Structure 1
Amino acid sequence: MTFQTLSNQPIGIFDSGYGGLTVMREIVNALPQYDYVYLGDNARTPYGTRSFETVYAYTLECVRHLFERGCRLVILACNTASAKALRNIQQLDLPRLFPGKRPGDLPTRRVLGVIRPTAEVIGGYSVAGHVGVLATSGTVTSESYLVEIEHFFPRLNVAQEACPMWVPLIENGEHTHPGADYFVYQHLDRLLTRDPYIDTILLACTHYPLLIDKIKAVLPTRIRLVSQGPIVAASLADYLLRHPDLAAQCSQTGTRQFLTTDSPTDFSRQASTFWGEPVEAEKVAF
């Protein structure tokens, strides 16, 4: 398969569904000049319950599609894909498919995730040195946050809690209803029972910002709630500053395009909840 150099070279943003739109919104707010193309693999979501091998295969397929559309840089705005696929893509696929001109050069195309930039800063939010992580079952099982956070903050105490019902509640439009309160309270209570000294909680799923109001209603005021979107946006801005050659290859006409592997009508209807305004999507097939 050949990968063309197209005149329009947007920054690609990938997620298994809709949640990555909350990250894309923050990225666009921080870096509005760039072109962006979002791809949601809605036909095969959720990724959280799938094996490492399956998530890797699906993620690589979607990343390659974004490369075919001219992207030089792709952000995995999905915690599960970042946990289960990013390392293989970075270490095995990019050097093989897009080698640099000289040995030791970085690949000519790049893929970044959301876990590492979050892990790099999360310890700075906590005074007590105790952080809670709320995530999908797949992200929790991977222990990616435990590994990455320990690398940057080895003395930080980290407790995880899987919240398998939160994404379905959000994607079925039930997250604003009173019935969602039980599931929010249940998981927060479990997390804080596990470690009552937690003073910072990370929302390690891009869907979870839609539950912020319900979460804040339950949390003690002493606990700080952290979303990934602003962190990832700031990290991307810094990355582009440190890699000006790559930044120069990303086109800057301010366009936004939305792709889905499932029904574009359904995507457009659901996406507005995450994006904050109506979108018009296009269906893609591999």
Structure 2
Amino acid sequence: MTGVSQPIGVFDSGYGGLTILRELVRKLPQYDYVYLGDNARTPYGTRSFETVYQYTLECVRHLFDQGCRLVILACNTASAKALRNIQQLDLPKMDGPDRRVLGVIRPTTEVIGTYSQTGQVGVLATRGTVTSESYVVEIEKFFPELRVFQEACPMWVPLVENGEYTSPGADYFVRQHIDRLLTQAPGIDTILLACTHYPLLLDKIRQFTPAGTTILSQGGIVADSLADYLFRHPALEAECSKHGRRTFLTTDSPVDFDRQATVFYGEQIQSRHLAL
């Protein structure tokens, strides 16, 4: 391994990706990680494909500048709207051909069919992710027999980021979208939380879903997928620095970020401001 620090980059439009990072650290604690939250320009879920692509590419470039060779887009909207362009159009033109950018959609869609007995699965996501149809397309590749039903939940991210995710006031918005999803297909037995904020609403979601419904969060699935990816790419894995260091960057106020990050990451952190 080289003496140069080459952490694994983790990117999100805000805080939600910290739920992914938490699971990465739990599964693979030996690696160094740099987390970048583009809080100054969040939310991404309501923005156009072109805007999300440009914002995501800019942040990926900054993570490469931090020494990362591998970047995880821990954001469903960025994975849906930007990942393919970055992989196909931008990486081949960048210095350093061994750089890699991965997303959170493919790891989930590779396994979701193994959880369903009825062949009917639901996807709860932001409007941008739902509109992209990325989950419908990707699930069809691996499990063409599955029927996929989607529901956009535009109020859920604000509920989480305003600290209302455990309040009685959240019940109405959680139940509303669960009911809308299940109305599409009462036989849905597996529901994917396709937004990294949604695990904080897990208790509420379980409250309004039928007993026996499997609720999938992405963190553990993505962590297992990354472990497998590094095993299958030993040259890349050998270059990843392993000191157990965590660095947190935000494009907005570090004070605000540190306060909110505790909720998502589960422990106190200290971030630095990154000017784009």
Does TM-score exceed 0.5, indicating one fold? Answer: yes
Q: Does residue 159 of the first structure (1) align with residue 156 of the second (2)?
A: no
Shift of 1:222: 1.9
Q: Which amino acid is 1:217 matched to? A: Q
Q: Which amino acid is 1:52 matched to? A: F
2-structure distance, mates of 1:136, 1:98 = 34
Shift of 1:84: 0.2
2-structure distance, mates of 1:228, 1:283 = 27
Question: How many residue pairs were aligned?
Answer: 275
2:216 aligned residue: 226
Q: Which amino acid is 1:271 matched to? A: A
Q: Does residue 44 of the first structure (1) align with residue 34 of the second (2)?
A: no
Q: Which amino acid is 2:153 matched to? A: C
2-structure distance, mates of 1:182, 1:198 = 21
2:67 aligned residue: 70
Shift of 1:98: 3.8
2-structure distance, mates of 1:131, 1:186 = 18
Q: 1:193 aligns with which of 183, 195, 204?
A: 183
RMSD: 1.0
Q: Which amino acid is 2:110 matched to? A: E
Shift of 1:144: 0.2
2-structure distance, mates of 1:13, 1:208 = 18
What whole-Å deviation, never above 9, does each CA across 1:91-149 have from its counterpart, x for those lacking one?
010011146xxxxxxx3100000001111000111011110000000000000000000
What whole-Å deviation, never above 9, does each CA across 1:246-283 have from its counterpart, x for those lacking one?
00111000000100000000000000000001110100
1:26 aligned residue: 23
2:161 aligned residue: 171
In the TM superposition, 1:106-117 aligns within 5 A as 107-117=97-107
| Structure 1 residues not aligned, in runs of 5+ | 100-106
1-structure distance, mates of 2:125, 2:61 = 26
In the TM superposition, 1:69-148 aligns within 5 A as 69-98=66-95, 107-148=97-138
1:10 aligned residue: 7
1:27–1:230 CA contact under 8 A, matched in 2: yes
| Structure 2 residues not aligned, in runs of 5+ | none
Q: Which amino acid is 1:22 matched to? A: T
2-structure distance, mates of 1:57, 1:67 = 15
Q: 1:214 aligns with which of 188, 204, 208?
A: 204
1-structure distance, mates of 2:104, 2:150 = 17
Q: Which amino acid is 2:109 matched to? A: A
Give percent identity, aligned residues only: 75
TM-score in terms of structure 1 length: 0.95
2-structure distance, mates of 1:222, 1:253 = 41
1:79–1:206 CA contact under 8 A, matched in 2: yes
1-structure distance, mates of 2:14, 2:59 = 12
1:12–1:66 CA contact under 8 A, matched in 2: yes
1-structure distance, mates of 2:202, 2:157 = 13
Runs of 4+ residues over 6 Å off in structure 1: none
2-structure distance, mates of 1:222, 1:8 = 45
Q: Which amino acid is 2:160 matched to? A: I
| 1:246 alignment partner, SS class | helix
Q: Does residue 202 of the first structure (1) align with residue 192 of the second (2)?
A: yes
1:59 aligned residue: 56
2-structure distance, mates of 1:56, 1:80 = 10
1:6–1:69 CA contact under 8 A, matched in 2: no
TM-score in terms of structure 2 length: 0.98
1-structure distance, mates of 2:247, 2:10 = 10
Shift of 1:6: 7.6
2-structure distance, mates of 1:218, 1:279 = 33
| 1:43 alignment partner, SS class | helix
2-structure distance, mates of 1:32, 1:43 = 29
2:272 aligned residue: 282
Q: Which amino acid is 2:257 matched to? A: F
Q: 1:249 aligns with which of 227, 239, 242?
A: 239
